Each structure stands twice: as structure tokens, then as C-alpha cells.
Structure 1
Amino acid sequence: MKRRRFLSIAGLTGLLGAAACAIQRTGSANPYYSGPPSDHFDGTRFFNPGGTDPKGFGDLLKWQLGGDRADWPDSVGITQTAPSERVSDLQVTMIGHASVLIQVAGLNLLTDPVWSQRASPFSFAGPARVTAPGVAFDALPPIDAVLISHNHYDHLDVATLRRLHDRFAMPVLTPLGNDALLRDEIPGIDARAGDWGEVLELPDLRVRLLPCHHWSARGTRDRSMALWASFVLETPAGKILHIGDTGYDQGRPYTAAAAHGPYRLAILPIGAYAPRWFMRDQHQNPEEAVAGLIASGAKWGLAHHWGTFQLTNEARDEPPARLSAALAAEDLPLDVFRALPPGATWNVPR
């Protein structure tokens, strides 16, 4: 148990901007993005308008030393799948954590792909996978685009993106600043960035970036210097709302999203929420995810951000159990909002 806690702290240093191996860059106060101030950018850092700043290092230590961390298994068996090369309607396959293969109207999209063993700036320490990816890397179909929601290590994995670029040379769509990070790490990558409210276009796909309540960091000196966002995917088979990470923030991310619906599917996070005093502002819990599904107006929901990497205190199987209870409390069928294990595929009904 002591070893597990040490590894947790090492990995979270990257996630929370407290790593000793911070990215060291010179020549600009913000190494990723330069632009005029706006209602969510002060000229150096991005922020959540009317929202809450992320907790500091002192609160991180208070949490890590406070106990109450559930014990996770070292590994959980799954059945990997080999997806179809193309799908004419809408099919989603869970890879693990925030990584989802979306196959829609002949397009193959990946969200926040992580095939690495650890979600960490280190190869030797940090949160390790307890499940294999639901699809072996070599079994992936041709990938037409990748969506990166923000730059935390459990969402932006340079090693995986380098492998994807070498194999598919696909565009990567991401919020402001993350494009510069990717081009610096992966020469030649087609990284395209947008601000909240902007639309990035590909053949048969429009991707609108919208606000969510989160933050960013790769090290100690770049906190909130690259933007975070949710995505609205406008496809011939319907609209999809995808949020990589968000706090519920009084429902404001869902109010913003609802204006661009209706949605056939919403892909929403349900894990990494405990303890609430520390995580509430940045990670919603399952009850808030159900409230968000309802507020967005989405017909169906896919849960992600649980069960692959232990980032916080809750037990591995707690998020899907609480999701079922929250759906029942709202008199909603349990299959409306599904927590698929890695390797599971869902043909989303029309």
C-alpha cells in the first residue's frame, strides 16, 4: 500500500503541476500560446470565467497524507476487441479511461488516446494501468482524426500520439496552446487548435470547441497556459458531445452545450472525484454526470474516466455503481447512460 501511494504522488505531480521535471522553456511567459486577453485568457494564463481555481500544492499534500484511499487491484482482465474498419452509422468502443474509439458515418476518431502503461511524466513511476487497452494498438482501424481535450498526462500522451502520427499522419484537433506543445514534441504532426466557440472542420465533420470547467499543466511552470475544452462533433449520423474532464460548475458546461444540440450521444466523465473537497471543482461525480446528461438533452450517454488509472480515492467499481443508482433516482433506464468496460463496443441506437 505504501508503494501504491508513492506511485500515486509521483504521477499526480504531472497532473497537478507539481513535478520536479517541469517543461523548461524560455523566451515567453507562456510557452504555448500568445494572443490578446479575453473573457477566459488574461494574456498569460487561461481561466474559468466565474469559476474556481485549481487547488495548490499544500492542498495536494493534505489530500495525499490524509488517508481514505481505496485499494485497487493490480490488474483486471478484459477481452480486447478488433473493431470494424469502417461503420456507416454510430459505434463506440471503450479503450480505457478517456480513450474512446468513435466510428461514425465512415469516420474513425479517437479521443484522448493513451496506450502507455502509465499516466505520468515518468516511465518508472506514476499511476499504472490496471486494464489493458480495449483495442490492441495494431488492431486499430485507420484513424481519421484525434481529439485532445487538454494536456494532463492521462489525456495527452506524447508516446501514443507519436505512434499514431507515424502510422496514420492524422490531424489532431485540440484547444489553444496544445498544438504548440505537440509540434514541439512530434515534428511534422498536423496539430490544429481552436478557442472556445470556434469550429474546426474536416470532410464530413465539424468540431465545435466549448467551455468546460477544468485546468491544465505539464509541469511546475506552465499551469493553465494551454486551454481545455469540450467538443461538439457534428456528423452525418448526428451530433456527439464529448467532454474529457470537467467539474459540474453549477451545470454551466451543459447549458453551453445544450444550445448546440440536440445530441444523439454524450460522452461524459464519471470518475476521479474523491475526496470531494479536493476534486469537486475539476471532476464531476456520477450524480453530476447524470444531471449533465439530462441538461445537455442527449438521448444516450457513454461514461468514461474511470477504472483504468487510480488517480483519486474512490474504489475502482464505485463510479459505475453510483451511476446506476443516480439513473434509478431519476427514473431513467440503466442502459441510457452506459459504463462500458475496456474492449466493449456499443452500436448507439438512433
Structure 2
Amino acid sequence: MPKNPYYSGPRSNHFDGTYFFNPDGAAPLGFRHLLKWRFGDKTNQPWPEHAESPYKNAKPDAKLPEDTLRLTMVGHASFFIQMGGLNILTDPVWSERTSPFSFMGPKRRNKPGIDFDDLPQIDIVLITHNHYDHMDLATLKRLHEAHAPLLVTPLGNDTIIHNKIQDMNIKTGDWDDVIEFEETKFHFEPCHHWSARGTRDRRMALWAAFVIEHAKTKIYHIGDTGFHDGINYRAASEKHGAFDLAILPIGAYEPRWFMKDQHQNPFEAAKGFKLCNAKRAAGHHFGTFNLTNESIEQPVKHLKEALELENIDNDLFRPMRPGEVWDIL
């Protein structure tokens, strides 16, 4: 077995031949720090066993016109995007747990905002990285069997998926690559994160953000990221100009000593929203799976405070709940 079982390719400014890394950034803290967090940190806030969304489950239209942009929240980092006449899913998770095991691990606290059987034909699935709360192989298998979509993901993740779903149609890309589907472009962009499915494969598959571009419409979608001094936000704006929508993580950020480098908090997300020159933002990565120490509603509370500090209208940056539908264009 090769040292990296997922990917072998040329070295780059973010791949050393075995491991991917964040240029001028930080690697995730190690196992000793993980144990310190799990067993030594006493700041963990309790979550309810079940959290009801204020929105009813959405029943999406089969297709929308090309000049329409509609966003529907499924839960956590899973969105249903209708744009450019396409139906797109990001990091889809319909499973009850985000774990290698069906009987243990973070459990879903609210039901998906769209019933799986109510999904219209899915054209594209975007997978930002291989953590279990973003790459759920059971859901991907269901999607493949029901819709046979094209899956777009960063380098190395195709190996993981094909081990489970051999004939899934997958295209991979490195940062700065572009994949075109019909008249829509999917740009792979850097974000400050990491990857792992177990204890021995850390940083062996790439992570990425995406810019989705159709005609004059652009979305900047980030599944997970540390703020990284705003470097990637500035770079995205310089490269792509203004965005109609940014989809930004606002949860899984406490305690800061452990999470800061890999998970931005709502105050950093608000700064990133301004730096990337987006007109609107959808907040995600909160309220569905209890992954870190903050309470279930703390990200929403902190986002409201952050928007006030940054003088951003609440209607422009929404923390989206399962079943919520937002017509952007």
C-alpha cells in the first residue's frame, strides 16, 4: 500500500508528496490535544435531544429557470441549490449519525429540511472534504442509485467514494482547477482546513471551497474553514469579484484554543462576508450535530452580535434552518 492510499501526484505549494497542507497556515492539533479537549475541558454546553426547525420541510420544484437562484437548507452543511437551471447538493447528509459507526457518534438533532424522496433530479453533488459530517457515504450511495449525479470533489476523495460506490461518476480537482457542467463552472478554491476518515489518514485527501458560476451569477461556498487572517476571503474577491451569495460556516468553534485554526466563529464569518465582497450570506454548520462545546443556539446569538458589530443588516446574513427557502434571484 502506498504511503498515501488516496492520491499520488506532483508536489505543489500545498502537497508535499504525501500530505496536503495549508500554505503559511496551521495543521490540526494532534491526539494529545484532542484528549485534553475531550477529557480536560469543562466548558461543554448541553444540547437538547431534539430540536424542531421553525420551517416545514420544503418540497422543491423540479426545475427553475436559468436566471433563478434559490437556496434550500437541508441541515448542517447540506444545501439544495437551484442555479443555472441545475439542481445541486452540497455535502449531503441524510443519515442519523456523522460517524464511521451507525450506533455511535454525533447524532442528528433535527430532521433533514427536505425529505429524501422529495428531491427532484439531482445534477451535481459537491463534496468539500472527507470528514463524516460532510462526506456521508450512505447518503451518496442513495443519491447514486436514485439520481446518478456527477460528484465534484477535491483530490483523493474519489478513492474513498469509489471504494464504496464503484461506478459513481466523479470528477476531482486541485485548488484553482475548474470543472464545467453544461454552462456552469465549478471553481476549486483554497480554504484553511484538513481531512481525515480515521487516525492514520490525516491530510491525505484535499479540502476545498467552491465558486459556482453561471453567466453573471456567482456563489462562494465554504464547507469548513478557519479564518486564517482573512487570506482566502481576500483572494476569492480579488480573483472572482463580487458574489451574489456566500455560504459560510458559523458553528463548531468552541473551545477556541482547539478549534480556532480550523473552524471560524460567527465574528470571523461576519468579517469574511465583508472581505469576500458578497451581497448576501447563508450561515450553516450549526444546530444539527453536536460536534463541539458551544450550545445549540450560541452560533445564532453570536452571529447577531457580530452583524451588529460589523454594521451588517440581519437580512443580508441569515443563519439558515432546515426547510428554510431563500430566493436570492
- Using the size of structure 2 for normalisation, the TM-score is 0.97
Find 2:269's aligned residue among 286, 289, 304.
Answer: 289
1:104 alignment partner in structure 2: 83
**What is the identity, as a one-letter code, of the residue corresponding to 1:165?**
H
1:275 equivalent in alignment to 2:252: no
> Displacement, 1:236?
3.0
1:309 equivalent in alignment to 2:286: no
Matches within 5 A, 1:203-242: 203-236=182-215, 238-242=217-221
C-alpha distance in 1, partners of 2:304/2:260? Answer: 20
C-alpha distance in 2, partners of 1:271/1:312? Answer: 9
C-alpha distance in 2, partners of 1:291/1:339? Answer: 15
Report SS of the residue matched to 1:312: coil
1:49 alignment partner in structure 2: 23
C-alpha distance in 2, partners of 1:97/1:246? Answer: 14
1:77 equivalent in alignment to 2:19: no
Report SS of the residue matched to 2:240: coil
C-alpha distance in 1, partners of 2:152/2:130? Answer: 12
- Using the size of structure 1 for normalisation, the TM-score is 0.91
* Contact 2:271 2:310 (8 Å CA) reproduced: no
Find 2:36's aligned residue among 36, 48, 62.
Answer: 62
C-alpha distance in 2, partners of 1:340/1:220? Answer: 32
C-alpha distance in 1, partners of 2:312/2:291? Answer: 29
Identity value in percent: 54
**What is the identity, as a one-letter code, of the residue corresponding to 1:217?**
A
* Contact 1:210 1:256 (8 Å CA) reproduced: no
* Contact 2:245 2:279 (8 Å CA) reproduced: yes
Matches within 5 A, 1:1-350: 27-65=1-39, 66-78=41-53, 79-88=56-65, 89-236=68-215, 238-258=217-237, 259-349=239-329
C-alpha distance in 2, partners of 1:119/1:268? Answer: 20
1:60-91 Cα offsets, whole Å, 9 max, x none, are: 11111122111000001232111111122010
Structure 2, unaligned runs of 5 or more: none
> Displacement, 1:237?
5.7
**What is the identity, as a one-letter code, of the residue corresponding to 2:128?**
S
Structure 1, unaligned runs of 5 or more: 1-26
User: Are the structure 2 counterparts of residues 114 and 237 from structure 1 closer, same or farther at C-alpha, using a change threshold of 3 Å?
Assistant: farther
**What is the identity, as a one-letter code, of the residue corresponding to 1:163?**
R
**What is the identity, as a one-letter code, of the residue corresponding to 1:67?**
K
* Contact 2:155 2:205 (8 Å CA) reproduced: yes
> Displacement, 1:180?
1.5
Report SS of the residue matched to 1:278: helix
**What is the identity, as a one-letter code, of the residue corresponding to 2:62?**
E
C-alpha distance in 2, partners of 1:162/1:340? Answer: 26
C-alpha distance in 1, partners of 2:52/2:270? Answer: 28
**Alignment coverage as a number of residue pairs:** 323
C-alpha distance in 2, partners of 1:87/1:333? Answer: 28
Aligned-residue RMSD, C-alpha: 0.9
Report SS of the residue matched to 1:222: coil
> Displacement, 1:321?
1.2
C-alpha distance in 1, partners of 2:214/2:282? Answer: 17
* Contact 1:195 1:209 (8 Å CA) reproduced: yes
> Displacement, 1:266?
0.3
